[in-house]
Amino acid sequence: MAEPIKRLPKLPVERAPKVIAGRWKPVILYYVFCGSKRLSELKRMMPEITQKVLIQQLREMEEHGLVSREVFAEVPARVEYTATELGLGLEPVLLALCQWGQRHAEAQNETADIADCIVRPRKPSFAA
Kindly give the residue spans of alpha helices, DSSP state H, lying in 1-128.
Answer: 12-20, 25-32, 39-45, 51-63, 85-88, 91-107
**pTM of the prediction?**
0.81
* 12-107, CATH topology level: Arc Repressor Mutant, subunit A (1.10.10)
pLDDT at 56 over 60: yes
Residue bearing the bigger pLDDT, 106 or 123:
106
pLDDT of residue 33 exceeding 90, the answer is: yes
pLDDT bucket at 128, cuts 50 / 70 / 90: very low
Residue type, 94: L
**Nearest-CA neighbor of 5 among 51, 68, 56?**
56
In this prediction, residue 3 carries a pLDDT of 53
Count of all residues that appear for the chain in the document: 128
CA 84 to chain centre: 10
HSE-up of 78 (CA within 13 Å, CB side)?
9
37-49: pLDDT as tens digits: 999 999 999 999 9
* pLDDT band for position 122 (cuts 50, 70, 90): low
Which has more confidence, 50 or 117? 50
Q: What is the pLDDT of residues 68-103, one digit of tens each?
A: 999 998 888 889 999 999 999 999 999 999 899 999
The per-residue pLDDT for 47 is: 94
Are 42 and 81 in contact by the 8 Å Cβ rule? The answer is yes
Using CA atoms, how far apart are residues 58 and 62, in angstroms rounded to an integer?
6
Higher pLDDT residue, 6 or 44? 44
